[in-house]
Amino acid sequence: MLDTNSASVAALRADIVRHLTFTMGKDAAHASAYDWRMALSFALRDRIVEPWFAATRRTWETGAKRVYYLSMEFLVGRMLEDAAINLGLRDAASEALAGLGVDFSELVGEEPDAALGNGGLGRLAACYMESMATLGCPGYGYGIRYEHGLFRQSIEGGEQREQAETWLTQRHPWEFERPESAYLVGFRGEVTRLAGRAVWTPSETVRAEAHDTPVIGWGGRWANTLRLWSAKPTTLFDLARFNHGDYAAAAEPETLARTLSRVLYPDDTTFQGKELRLKQEYFLVSSALQDILRRHLAGGFALVDLPAHAAIQMNDTHPALAGPELIRLLVDVHGMEFAAAIEIAVACLGYTNHTLLPEALERWATYLMGSVLPRHMQIIEEIDAWHATRHPTRPHYVGIVKHHEVRMGDLAFVTSHRVNGVSKLHTELVKTSLFPELDALHPGRVVNVTNGVTPRRWLRMANPALSGLITRSIGPGWEADLDRLAALQPFVEDAGFRADFAAAKRANKSALAAWIGATQGLTVNPDAIFDVQVKRVHEYKRQLLNILQCIAHWQRLRDAPGSAVPRLRIFGGKAAPGYHAAKEIIRLINDVALVINADPKTRDALQIVYPENYNVSMAERLVPAADLSEQISTAGKEASGTGNMKFALNGALTIGTLDGANVEIRDEVGTENFFLFGLTATEVAERRRDPEHARRAILASQPLQDVLQMIAEGRFSPGEPGRYHGLVHNIWNSDYFLVASDFAAYDAAQAQVEAAFAEPDRWWRMAALNTARMGYFSSDRAIRDYMTGIWGTVSAL
Ligand code: 26Q
């Protein structure tokens, strides 16, 4: 690693001033924080360009196989500090700026998040890009350069409101515009036959223009490209119409095209067949595949050799048109036979599944697919027929096209040589419940790659206090070899080390307490248990279970004040704008917080906060300061979770169900260092068969009955006592996500948490063992698994 030496500080300072002057056109005397941030970003970007060129050159020279990661979402967050840290220039940058009278942390805190994703799936793509660069795996991320990322959330009167997000109103210093790298993408129109070949004549066409952001790996040894496409009109501005005074019509083609890359769809987990979404998906896939083939041919290779040079990974089914599009390009444009083309597609493609929820699976009506992408609809039918012919034992009810719908999961499965789940449990469920027939026809195709997170952003950058302690204890280098955290285990027996570990957490908690004070106007006790549940709001994630248990806990506190360890319960997360039940849960949490926080009897022992607009940068504040990580989904519903990994890595203990990667986290950190509760996935399925499951569970728990009664009576909505009648009625009468059935076990597990926290020696031993044993969940390990098990690529370093 580079160190803070005076030469690199001086050189960096000179470059910052040069960029301030010649790129920003500002005099230091009149420069704003924005100008300084841009100048620093450009100075750092300069230092990424050389390793980036070197990496690209090396990949060309060696003819190395490249990975193409296709994703509708890249939830990158802020880039400045991450780039500085990976370049080994974090401290140098800080010192260079200090000499100019500018505060590094202040600049860093003003960078807007690149929020081009909804949640876990998009953030995973960003962690994987960083790990590919760290490992020297030649790779490209392909996505869409949305003008508006995920909406901004405000909480008004307890309710979520959405505002458009505007990250691009400022200059985005990390990207390079490539107007010369552009492709045409067509929609609609007709398919005709000419000399036995299909000819698709689209009636709408847009231009996809590339914007490249280099992604630098740890140590600055390798950089890859994140290539995001922006839609532009193909027809020039209609001056004749404009001159006739028809201003709106003159701008029409422009409006049409720009709509394509205008906004990220904010829905996770409920599929709605929106035409614009289908067009966005095809826009990404078509521009990416044209680019991949162009690069392959430029290398002088034959198309039949594509699988030796390109691994194409589909991040969920959102880019599942990659199969049909690759086949179309090979057959219609390059004259290949269909049978050869599909073999090539299957050999190149891999599909990662991220959900089992039936309502989330993409299924496009054939009439929509047939009208927006008529040629692709034909190819999809051909793929289906090809698959049926090759597998005569395929049951009649299996197929890509069924009941006038194209099932994107089946399409992705059939066109990929590997299909992977994202945790061991999830992968088993992918085999047994999602694709049992296809799994039987293709044994060995479904494999597991448990998710991982990048330790550079999620430990080194977000938690300098703990990172410093780790480096002092076991030496440097763990950032790129996270298994080395295991060397912390012997230290756990050392009271001095435990005190240092606790002190690091305490420092992070008091920084968070200060932020909560400043932003929420709430004074909180940094010695309370910081109990955090942050993630998208969804019924299956059961924020409702958490808030119901808060109420029960509050009631007990009122009966016996001063009996409990103080707690701060922190919630954060957005609901999809059209998801009524999720929005109601947000409102309930905020209504309950208002009442409980105002209770003088319990104020010292229990507080609840819901900071608005949870995003990557907020996660970077919360994760290092958490004592307790809430991972309480209905078993069998959370594919993996990745927040669970970030918290445990930072020394929070988990209270959780046997779901997703929780199962593997618990195995790794030790069952005694994890607060397990609740039904298993198998038990959930059984319990649902009892139509009375909720009623039975409620009648068996007096605290739960009391809590539901209070909500139903309007204790938390005095101005509108009936506000939660529907919600309470639903728990009694349906409770699909088994909140009632798991309530008592959760309540008991929370009591165990409290008992453990009251014994600091025990608690900090458990917390430190969590950090020491989380090495497996590095995204470097996950990417190595993809490289050997799916992509067949090797490091170029
Ligand atoms: C689909 C169609 C139309 C519009 C939007 C969407 C859409 C967008 C985003 C559907 C799903 C998503 C996001 C899913 C997601 O984030 N899943 C999470 O993926 C993580 C990474 O594997 C897992 O850890 C989580 O368990 C899983 O919920």
Nearest CA to ligand 1 atom 1: 271
CA distances from 677 to 114, 748, 768 (A): 36, 8, 22
Q: What is d(CA 413, CA 749) in angstroms, rounded to the nearest whole number?
A: 40
Q: Is the pLDDT of residue 721 over 90?
A: yes
How confident is the model over 415-474, as pLDDT tens digits?
Answer: 999 999 999 999 999 999 999 999 999 999 999 999 999 999 999 999 999 999 999 999
How confident is the model over 100-158, as pLDDT tens digits?
Answer: 999 999 999 999 999 999 999 999 999 999 999 999 999 999 999 999 999 999 999 99
pLDDT grade, residue 93 (50/70/90)? very high
Q: At what angle do helices 760-772 and 739-757 cross, to 10 degrees?
A: 110
Percent of the chain having pLDDT more than 90? Answer: 94
Residue 451 Cα: closest atom of ligand 1: 22
Tokens of 44: 């750092």
Question: What integer is the mean pLDDT of 586-598?
Answer: 98
Please tell me the distance between residue 411's alpha carbon and the centre of ligand 1 in angstroms: 18
Residue 266 Cα: closest atom of ligand 1: 5
Task: Determine the residue of 71, 268, 353, 657 to mutate for testing ligand 1's pocket, defined as the one with the most ligand atoms within 8 A of the Cβ atom.
Answer: 268
Question: What integer is the mean pLDDT of 724-735?
Answer: 98
pLDDT at 2: 46
Q: Is the pLDDT of residue 246 over 90?
A: no
Q: What is d(CA 157, CA 590) in angstroms, rounded to the nearest whole number?
A: 8
Q: 273: Cβ–Cβ under 8 A, 6 or more apart, which residues?
A: 363, 364, 365, 368
pLDDT grade, residue 16 (50/70/90)? very high
Count Cβ neighbours within 10 Å for each residue of 78-111 and write b for 16 or more, e otherwise.
Answer: bbbbbbbbbbbbbbbbbbbbeeeebebeebbeeb
Asked if 198 contacts 209 with a C-beta cutoff of 8 angstroms, the reply is no
Q: What is d(CA 600, CA 98) in angstroms, rounded to the nearest whole number?
A: 45
Please tell me the distance between residue 120's alpha carbon and the centre of ligand 1 in angstroms: 6
Task: Determine the residue of 69, 263, 354, 614 to mutate for testing ligand 1's pocket, defined as the one with the most ligand atoms within 8 A of the Cβ atom.
Answer: 354
Start-end of H helices in 521-611: 543-559, 580-597
Residue 422 Cα: closest atom of ligand 1: 22
Q: What is d(CA 620, CA 744) in angstroms, rounded to the nearest whole number?
A: 32
Asked if 636 contacts 178 with a C-beta cutoff of 8 angstroms, the reply is no
Question: What integer is the mean pLDDT of 634-658?
Answer: 98
Please tell me the distance between residue 73's alpha carbon and the centre of ligand 1 in angstroms: 9
DSSP-derived secondary structure letter, 789: I
Nearest CA to ligand 1 atom 5: 267
Q: Is the pLDDT of residue 232 over 50?
A: yes
How confident is the model over 696-713, as pLDDT tens digits?
Answer: 999 999 999 999 999 999
Q: Is the pLDDT of residue 236 over 90?
A: no
Residue 122 Cα: closest atom of ligand 1: 16
Please tell me the distance between residue 153's alpha carbon and the centre of ligand 1 in angstroms: 19
pLDDT at 344: 98
Cα angle for residues 176, 180, 183 (degrees, 5° grid)? 110
pLDDT at 748: 98
Residue 471 belongs to what H/E stretch?
A: helix 464-474
Residue 642 Cα: closest atom of ligand 1: 24
pLDDT at 1: 43
Average per-residue pLDDT for the chain = 96
Please tell me the distance between residue 792's alpha carbon and the centre of ligand 1 in angstroms: 26
Q: What is d(CA 74, CA 697) in angstroms, rounded to the nearest whole number?
A: 41
Q: 640: Cβ–Cβ under 8 A, 6 or more apart, which residues?
A: 120, 354, 422, 423, 426, 450, 451, 660, 661
Task: Determine the residue of 71, 118, 121, 779 to mutate for testing ligand 1's pocket, defined as the one with the most ligand atoms within 8 A of the Cβ atom.
Answer: 121
pLDDT at 235: 77
Nearest CA to ligand 1 atom 13: 268
How confident is the model over 512-557, as pLDDT tens digits?
Answer: 999 999 999 999 999 999 999 999 999 999 999 999 999 999 999 9
pLDDT at 4: 56
Nearest CA to ligand 1 atom 7: 268
Please tell me the distance between residue 790's alpha carbon and the centre of ligand 1 in angstroms: 21
Q: What is the dihedral of CA 260, 261, 267, 268, to 10 degrees?
A: 120
pLDDT at 240: 75
Nearest CA to ligand 1 atom 19: 121
Q: Is the pLDDT of residue 689 over 60?
A: yes
Q: 417: Cβ–Cβ under 8 A, 6 or more apart, which residues?
A: 346, 347, 349, 350, 445
Residue 272 Cα: closest atom of ligand 1: 3
Q: What is d(CA 654, CA 623) in angstroms, rounded to the nearest whole number?
A: 12
Q: Is the pLDDT of residue 61 over 60?
A: yes
- Catalytic residue numbers? 354, 535-536, 541, 642, 646
Question: What integer is the mean pLDDT of 265-292?
Answer: 93
Please tell me the distance between residue 150's alpha carbon and the centre of ligand 1 in angstroms: 13
pLDDT at 367: 97
Residue list, ligand 1 pocket, CB within 6 Å = 118-121, 124, 265, 267-269, 271, 277, 354-355, 360, 362, 422, 451, 638-642, 660
Q: What is d(CA 615, CA 410) in angstroms, rounded to the nearest whole number?
A: 32
Q: What is d(CA 340, CA 330) in angstroms, rounded to the nearest whole number?
A: 9
Please tell me the distance between residue 657's alpha carbon and the centre of ligand 1 in angstroms: 20
Burial class (CB in 10 A: 0-12, 13-18, 19+), 727: middle
Nearest CA to ligand 1 atom 3: 271
Q: Is the pLDDT of residue 498 over 90?
A: yes
pLDDT grade, residue 287 (50/70/90)? very high
How confident is the model over 350-385, as pLDDT tens digits?
Answer: 999 999 998 889 999 999 999 999 999 999 999 999
How confident is the model over 734-752, as pLDDT tens digits?
Answer: 999 999 999 999 999 999 9
| First CA to last CA distance, the chain | 16
